[in-house]
């Protein structure tokens, strides 16, 4: 017997368009931990190429960022078959900035309609941010379910060792290319002055984004790589001691999760964070990181202090790592996941055959869906961008 009293555990199918952090960290990790504890069985796959066998097997379907035409069809079909359907949202997808690489996709009237339909029709709307949950509840008139994201795997197994004076200090930024313009606006002048003042005593390293200032100061750069395990292994190998986490203060960004804190904390990195939500919701200033106003002079002062003070770097890094383990490890979050997901885990769907499942999928269907989203010219531009590397994964 499982925890719900049924003779078997709930069967959960998680579908996302690709191997994105929203899927791997926000959903796969949660249900994998529940599966390891005997609360469910788990299968994962792509919403671009869903399998009839999987949907026939599942009691519950979780759509990660349900927004594409295929995901709307999956929701409708799963509900027809008596499956419980949840969607997981870790961003306000109806308010994505136009300048973001995904901005064109989410600005499409087709996608906007799909997001509203999925959020309004799913049995469960799962969010990792209470602020995002409140926004979606006000906009769509429905409750949301808080499902906190755990700290990423592949970090340090113990608190980081004390920092030592006299070694070059590694200052780094790990983040997507979308952060580049704001990074330059806020940090270009502070980094120029740090480079001029400290010279070879400071190394700069960027992974993912490469803003203009990174080129100007000769910073080490590493491309973004797909796959969470590969990305984390690369991030850990870089030896960053001071992590930069600038963030604009906008309604969209306030609804985000504190991913950067969990990433830096799990790697034993002392972070400097913009003193705006969600950073200010989780970081304790001068205890688990430095919270700094979005002013170049404030960031310069914070950088100067951390570069000069190895003891402070060590204290912040150790406290952040401990905080991540104490509050955001899978073992700590597991009881809360069980409570918040109890209705989903209790659901048992009617038995159906593979042939009962009706799906429109395949390569041609995907192209037709994208044509509806982007239009002919937009789709052609995306195709050229992929071929030339202009739209490589970020």
pLDDT band (50, 70, 90) for residue 363: confident
> Do both 117 and 211 map to the same domain?
no
> Do both 87 and 101 map to the same domain?
yes
Task: Characterise 141 by phi-psi region: left (phi > 0), alpha (psi -120 to 50), beta (else).
Answer: left
The answer to whether residue 145 is domain-embedded is yes
> Do both 337 and 271 map to the same domain?
no
Average the pLDDT over 68-89 and give the result: 97
Alpha carbons 330 and 342: distance in angstroms, whole number: 17
Model confidence pLDDT, tens digit, residues 139-195: 999 999 999 999 999 999 888 877 666 679 999 999 888 889 999 999 999 999 999
Going from the C-alpha of 183 to that of each of 39, 43, 212, 295, the distances in angstroms are 43, 38, 9, 12
The answer to whether residue 267 is domain-embedded is yes
> Do both 98 and 141 map to the same domain?
yes
The answer to whether residue 275 is domain-embedded is yes
Contact in structure between 41 and 32 (CB atoms under 8 Å): no
The answer to whether residue 219 is domain-embedded is yes
Range of the domain at 265: 169-328
> Do both 292 and 196 map to the same domain?
yes
For residue 340, cis peptide bond before it (omega within 30 degrees of 0): no
Residue with the bigger pLDDT between 99 and 264: it is 264
The DSSP code sequence of 190-212 is HHHHHHHHHGGGEEEEEEE---H
Residue with the bigger pLDDT between 205 and 390: it is 205
Average the pLDDT over 257-266 and give the result: 97
Q: Which of 19-23, 233-237, 286-290 has the highest mean predicted lDDT (pLDDT)?
A: 286-290
List CB contacts of 359: < 8 A, sequence separation 6 or more: 50, 52, 55, 73, 74, 77
The answer to whether residue 161 is domain-embedded is no
Mean pLDDT of the chain: 93
Q: Where do the H-state alpha helices sit in the chain?
A: 21-23, 29-36, 52-57, 69-80, 103-107, 109-121, 130-140, 180-198, 212-216, 228-237, 251-254, 259-266, 279-282, 296-308, 310-328, 330-340, 342-346, 363-388
> Do both 30 and 94 map to the same domain?
yes
Average the pLDDT over 53-74 and give the result: 97
The answer to whether residue 339 is domain-embedded is yes
> Among the three residues 328, 350, 370, which one is the final residue of a domain in this structure?
328
> Do both 46 and 120 map to the same domain?
yes
> Do both 133 and 236 map to the same domain?
no
Contact in structure between 224 and 235 (CB atoms under 8 Å): no
Average the pLDDT over 52-65 and give the result: 98
The answer to whether residue 369 is domain-embedded is no
What pLDDT is stored for residue 379 in this prediction?
82
pLDDT band (50, 70, 90) for residue 19: confident
Give, as one character, the DSSP assignment of residue 358.
-
> Do both 35 and 131 map to the same domain?
yes
> Do both 35 and 128 map to the same domain?
yes
> Do both 218 and 297 map to the same domain?
yes
Contact in structure between 44 and 90 (CB atoms under 8 Å): no
What pLDDT is stored for residue 22 in this prediction?
85
pLDDT band (50, 70, 90) for residue 225: confident
Residue with the bigger pLDDT between 261 and 178: it is 261
> Do both 242 and 350 map to the same domain?
no
CATH code, domain with 275: 3.40.50.2000
User: Would you tell me the crossing angle of helices 310-328 and 330-340 to the nearest 10 degrees?
Assistant: 40
Domain count, the chain: 2
pLDDT band (50, 70, 90) for residue 287: very high
What pLDDT is stored for residue 4 in this prediction?
45
pLDDT band (50, 70, 90) for residue 366: confident
Average the pLDDT over 59-83 and give the result: 97
Contact in structure between 159 and 267 (CB atoms under 8 Å): no
The answer to whether residue 352 is domain-embedded is yes
What pLDDT is stored for residue 383 in this prediction?
73
If one counts every other C-beta atom within 10 angstroms of the C-beta of residue 87, the result is: 24
Q: Is the pLDDT of residue 2 over 70?
A: no
């Amino acid at each position: 017997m499982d925890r719900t009293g049924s003779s078997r555990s709930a069967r959960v199918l998680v579908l996302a368009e690709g191997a994105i952090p929203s899927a791997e960290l926000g959903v796969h990790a949660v249900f994998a931990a529940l599966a390891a504890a005997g609360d469910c069985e788990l299968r994962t796959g792509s919403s671009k190429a869903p399998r009839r066998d999987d949907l026939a097997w599942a009691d519950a379907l979780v759509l990660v960022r349900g927004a594409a035409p295929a995901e709307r069809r999956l929701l409708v079909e799963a509900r027809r078959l008596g499956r419980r359907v949840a969607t997981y949202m870790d961003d306000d997808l109806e308010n994505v900035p136009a300048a973001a690489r995904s901005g064109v996709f989410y600005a499409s009237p087709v996608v906007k309609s799909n997001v509203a339909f999925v959020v309004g029709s799913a049995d469960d709307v799962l969010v990792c941010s209470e602020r995002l949950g409140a926004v979606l509840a006000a906009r769509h008139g429905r409750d949301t379910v808080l499902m906190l994201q755990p700290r990423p795997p592949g970090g340090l197994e113990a608190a980081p060792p004390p920092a030592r004076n006299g070694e070059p200090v590694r200052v780094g930024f790990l983040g997507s290319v979308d952060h580049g313009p704001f990074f330059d606006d806020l940090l270009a002048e502070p980094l120029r002055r740090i480079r001029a003042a400290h010279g070879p005593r400071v190394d700069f390293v960027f992974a993912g984004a490469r803003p203009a200032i990174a080129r100007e100061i000769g910073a080490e750069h590493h491309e973004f790589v797909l796959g969470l395990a590969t990305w984390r292994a690369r991030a850990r190998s870089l030896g960053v001691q001071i992590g930069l986490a600038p963030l604009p203060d906008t309604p969209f960004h306030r609804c985000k999760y504190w991913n950067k804190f969990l990433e830096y904390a799990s790697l034993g990195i002392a972070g400097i964070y913009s003193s705006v939500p969600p950073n200010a919701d989780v970081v304790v200033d001068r205890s688990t990181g430095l919270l700094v106003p979005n002013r170049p002079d404030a960031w310069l002062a914070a950088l100067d202090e951390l570069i000069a003070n190895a003891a402070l770097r060590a204290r912040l890094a150790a406290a952040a790592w401990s905080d991540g383990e104490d509050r955001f490890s899978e073992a700590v979050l597991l009881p809360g996941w069980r409570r918040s997901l109890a209705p989903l885990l209790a659901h048992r769907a009617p038995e159906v055959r593979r042939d009962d499942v009706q799906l429109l999928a395949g390569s041609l269907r995907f192209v037709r869906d994208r044509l509806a989203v982007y239009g002919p010219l937009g789709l052609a531009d995306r195709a050229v961008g992929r071929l030339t590397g202009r739209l490589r994964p970020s």
